[in-house]
Amino acid sequence: MVPSGHAQLGHPIRLLGMPSLRVALAQTHPVVGDFQANTAGLLAACRNAYDQGAQVVVAGELALSGYPIEDLALRDTFLAAGTRSAQMFAQKLAETGMADLVVVVGHPSGPHPTLTTPFTPTHPQRAKNVVSVCHGGDIVATYAKHHLPNYGVFDEFRTFVPGTDNLIVRIGGVDCGVIICEDLWRDDGPIQTLTGYPIGLLLVPNASPFERDKDEVRLPLVTRRATSMKTTVCYTNIVGGQDDLVFDGDSMVVGPGGELLARSPQFIDHLIVVDCDVLSADEATPLPPNTRLVDVPARSITDPPALPPTIAPALDDNDQLWQALVLGLRDYVEKNGFRSVILGLSGGIDSAVCAALAVDALGQDRVVGVSMPSVHSSDHSRNDAANLAERLGITYRVEPIADLVSPFDQQLGLTDLAAENVQARVRGVILMSLSNTDGHLVLTTGNKTELAVGYSTIYGDSVGGYAPIKDVPKMLVWELARWRNQVAEKRGVTAPIPPNSIDKPPSAELRPGQLDQDSLPDYAVLDAILDLFIVKGLDVPDIVQEGFDEETVKTVVTLVDRAEWKRRQGAIGPRISSVAFGRDRRLPVTARRTPPEGG
């Protein structure tokens, strides 16, 4: 049933003689499964928006459940909680005096009685990824996402049933299209259906994870949709770290002329409230196919408060990367209830950057650094580690490993690789023992380059629950270190990272005089090859075409393929590239590289 003919129950604010709606974008910070806290957070944002005269609030995709919910979508109890959370949220809005506010909020929904797929091993999906439109204490309409991303880090075809119907909510006489995230990226489906129909606003809840340069893709996309559909696009994203994903927010409003009307800062909770000039609904235009129209009044605002403009300045690249790493780490620690973190400080660049990130994420009082020198550790390593701890003001302890390592060497007669690795493993045991004693989360400090080529000791330097720089290639580790020090210097405070840790040649120091570059190609070359292989998805012939030495390329690719088993056992860490190790890149451990007939 489509109510109609009373579109003017509420009176949209009029500016410059054109109808206008005051719209809020609630960039909230959900925790997966924490319906209670997520609802409370969104209610607070709605209160704030309401007090600023907002008539419509757009929240993020799955804002009530958090995102991604992965196989929790297959649990009936979780889905029931998802549906119920939206009903309770709508009720709560009304109970707290916001019954006349229209809120578009994402949540999982199901199992639907109308859904014809019963639970079977071959058809486990019964959930939908929906947004509900809340008004008057109730849910007045629900839209299910059509395009379910099932590539990269996304598994939505596994967990959800796609929607088939389109939704237009007529709010105070203004037709607003509602779609979800991936629907905006795809030319077919709802975008195609709604294009040509005169919608005043396109409301788009998103859960769009951060990756390098993603802001440079999102704004042009939103702008393209706004101009081609001749409408204002309200794009709300969530914020926060969730396991290996970091959601950066970057919510925005773009008008039909392509003008950026508002943009949230990245990486923090934020609320945009903005007046959008809109077209009134044209009742003469027939509805697009498979489209439901739901009519709700807009709240009448007699004396709307003035709004400050909100266009957050774009952050430079390194700033974005650093903040993504900080937020990912902080949220992993906080959401999993750890009081503090502990990490080994080698004097090298990786542990220095991890420690600096930890202090930026948690404060110096919640970070413990442990220097674990061996007989092969140089004086500069010990000094650099101590200097780092002093610059950061963190708790610092020294646990020499000689007396712990030599019993292994003696009892087992270890030499060569085994003798090198046992040092790293003894350090792992020390960190885990201190974690068991004091409850710290252990951070593992490996970078993406090491993980790629397997240049680490499994159960040694790889121990830990979280890997802050696992998606940061070595060259970028150095760049971020320099950048972070420059930021400190500009602020007139102590640079966190000892310059010597940045400048000296990298070494694992597991044998006398060892340098990384003795066994690996130059890091600049290595990282360039790895980027082509892992992020760009090129294989050997195409990488060689880019100007790299064939033998080097083959060596690197072989190292990467052979290290797959180690990566499978690696810790979670924040994804900042378009292809991180983990759910982004799913490869067999057992696999040969042979062309047919060896040809």
User: Minimum CB separation from a copy of itself for residue 440, in Å?
Assistant: 12
CB crowding 265-298: b at 16 or more within 10 Å, else e: bbbebbbbbbbbbbbbbeeeeeebeebebbbbbb
At 556, give phi and psi (nearest 5°).
Answer: -65, -45
| Residues 6 or more apart whose Cβ sits within 8 Å of residue 436 | none
User: Minimum CB separation from a copy of itself for residue 293, in Å?
Assistant: 29
Which parts of 282-407 are beta strand (E)? Answer: 291-296, 341-344, 367-371, 395-398
Residue pair 328/574 in contact (Cβ under 8 Å)? The answer is: yes
Q: Within the chain, what is the greatest distance between any pair of CA atoms?
A: 89
Residue nearer to a copy of itself on the CB measure, 89 or 478? 89
User: Minimum CB separation from a copy of itself for residue 159, in Å?
Assistant: 9
Q: How far apart are CA 36 and CA 32, in angstroms?
A: 11
Residue of 46, 128, 145, 470 marked active site: 145
User: Minimum CB separation from a copy of itself for residue 426, in Å?
Assistant: 7
User: Minimum CB separation from a copy of itself for residue 126, in Å?
Assistant: 11
Residues in the chain: 599
Six-digit token string for 338: 């750890």
User: Minimum CB separation from a copy of itself for residue 452, in Å?
Assistant: 15
Residue of 46, 134, 176, 181 marked active site: 181
User: Minimum CB separation from a copy of itself for residue 461, in Å?
Assistant: 12
Query: CA triplet 329, 330, 332: central angle to 5 degrees?
Result: 65
Residue nearer to a copy of itself on the CB measure, 274 or 442? 442
Residue pair 149/156 in contact (Cβ under 8 Å)? The answer is: yes
- The answer to whether residue 145 is catalytic is yes
Q: How far apart are CA 26 and CA 63, in angstroms?
A: 10
Q: How many CB atoms lie within 10 A of CB 359?
A: 21
Residue nearer to a copy of itself on the CB measure, 271 or 424? 424
Residue nearer to a copy of itself on the CB measure, 56 or 73? 73
User: Minimum CB separation from a copy of itself for residue 521, in Å?
Assistant: 21
- The answer to whether residue 259 is catalytic is no
What Rg, from alpha-carbon coordinates, does the chain have? 27
Q: How far apart are CA 485 and CA 496, in angstroms?
A: 6
Residue nearer to a copy of itself on the CB measure, 170 or 427? 427
- The answer to whether residue 181 is catalytic is yes
What is the DSSP secondary-structure string of 49-112?
HHHTT-SEEE--TTTTT-S--GGGGG-HHHHHHHHHHHHHHHHHHHHTT-TT-EEEEEEEE---
Best CA proximity match to 296, nearest among 530, 90, 516, 25: 90
Q: Which residues are catalytic?
A: 61, 145, 181
